[in-house]
């Protein structure tokens, strides 16, 4: 057990140590004292972001606000995306009709439609959630559709032999079979939803300030140490979202397949 734990924990710790060492090298060797604000040494980042109560409180509040937007976005994206995938799986002509528009949503730069989102939904919580949905919905659609369509044809023949209805085939065969693929899409979408929340906060400058607003504020005032602290919380939120969805997915599908070692 201890050996397995070491294999899991040691590589990230070694990589972190190398990164911290590189940061100190650049900060103290390659940058002059007058330019050290461009990359503050790690201990300054920790001291200013995590050990000053006002800064820590501000960043924790912003992280929680971003988390609420991200959670709302991923839930709505899952409901809409899974519904679209189920409808597309029922007939090839429906898939051909809807799939191109899902691709259009995926490839359209979100910055290009920010003005429209602002006009239609305002500049507050709802607009940020819409950005999350638009950014995170495509992986849910594609992975859910893939899982629904890749059922073994022999199983379909068995359901046909027993004269199962379309609804019974969907509920008892396709959806259970698609669960692993659905959670693959959800894990991807969870990280994208955090990105969408931060992007929305960055451009919709009203309402409660999330991490996107703090990042923009710290950038404007060249507070690089606080900027890196906010980046840490953004990464932390994305990792927690990804890990939480992965944990639930593994708990639901652990009897379906063995994970590679």
- pLDDT confidence of residue 169: 86
Burial of 114 (0-12, 13-18, 19+ CB in 10 A): middle
User: pLDDT averaged over the chain?
Assistant: 86
Among the listed residues 100, 131, 125, the one whose alpha carbon sits nearest the alpha carbon of residue 113 = 131
Long-range contacts for 120-124 (Cβ within 8 Å, ≥24 apart)?
A: 122/206, 123/204, 123/205, 123/206, 123/207, 124/204, 124/206, 124/207
Are residues 148 and 81 in contact, defined by beta-carbon separation less than 8 angstroms?
A: no
Cα gap 145→157, rounded to integer Å: 20
> Confidence class of residue 261 from pLDDT cuts 50, 70 and 90?
very low
* Range from 25-29, 40-44, 93-97, 219-223 that averages highest in pLDDT: 93-97
% of residues, the chain, pLDDT over 70: 95
Q: CA–CA separation, 246 vs 184, rounded Å?
A: 8
What the chain holds in terms of domains, given with CATH numbers, is 1-39 (no CATH), 41-253 (1.10.3720.10)
| Model confidence pLDDT, tens digit, residues 29-69 | 888 888 877 888 888 888 888 888 888 999 999 999 999 99
The pLDDT, as a whole number, for residue 256 is 59
What is the rounded average pLDDT of the residues 66-90?
94
Spatial contact of 130 and 74, defined as CB atoms under 8 Å apart: no
Q: What interhelical angle do 211-220 and 175-203 show, nearest 10? A: 30
pLDDT tens digits for range 122-178: 888 888 899 999 999 999 999 999 999 888 888 888 888 888 888 888 888 888 888
pLDDT above 50: residue 260? no
pLDDT value at position 26?
86
**The pLDDT value given to residue 97:** 92
User: What is residue 133's three-state secondary structure?
Assistant: helix
What DSSP state is assigned to residue 204? -
Q: How far is CA 229 from CA 32, 44, 192, 199, 210, in A?
A: 22, 10, 20, 17, 14
Give residue 143's pLDDT: 94
Residue 250 binned pLDDT confidence (cut-offs 50, 70, 90): confident
Q: How far apart are CA 117 and CA 57, in angstroms?
A: 30
Residue 116 in this model has a pLDDT that exceeds 80: yes
């Amino acid at each position: 057990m201890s050996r397995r734990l070491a294999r899991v924990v040691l590589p990230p710790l070694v990589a972190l140590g190398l990164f911290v060492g590189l940061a100190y090298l650049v900060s103290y060797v390659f940058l002059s004292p007058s330019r050290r604000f461009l990359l503050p040494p790690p201990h300054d980042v920790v001291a200013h972001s995590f050990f000053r109560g006002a800064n820590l409180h501000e960043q924790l509040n912003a992280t929680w606000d971003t988390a609420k937007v991200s959670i709302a976005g991923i839930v709505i994206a899952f409901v809409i995306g899974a519904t679209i995938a189920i409808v597309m799986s029922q007939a090839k002509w429906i898939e051909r009709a809807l799939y191109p528009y899902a691709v259009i949503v995926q490839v359209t730069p979100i910055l290009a439609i920010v003005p429209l989102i602002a006009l239609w939904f305002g500049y507050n919580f709802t607009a940020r959630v819409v950005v999350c949905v638009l950014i995170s919905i495509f992986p849910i659609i594609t992975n859910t559709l893939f899982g629904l369509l890749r059922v073994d044809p022999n199983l379909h023949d068995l359901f046909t032999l027993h004269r199962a209805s379309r609804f019974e085939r969907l509920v008892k065969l396709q959806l259970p079979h698609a669960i692993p693929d659905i959670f693959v899409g959800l894990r991807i979408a969870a990280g994208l939803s955090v990105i969408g929340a931060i992007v929305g906060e960055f451009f919709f400058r009203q309402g409660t300030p999330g991490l996107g607003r703090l990042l923009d504020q710290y950038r404007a005032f060249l507070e690089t140490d606080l900027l890196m602290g906010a980046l840490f919380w953004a990464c932390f939120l994305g990792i927690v979202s990804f890990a939480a969805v992965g944990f639930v997915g593994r708990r639901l599908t652990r009897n379906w397949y063995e994970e590679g070692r």
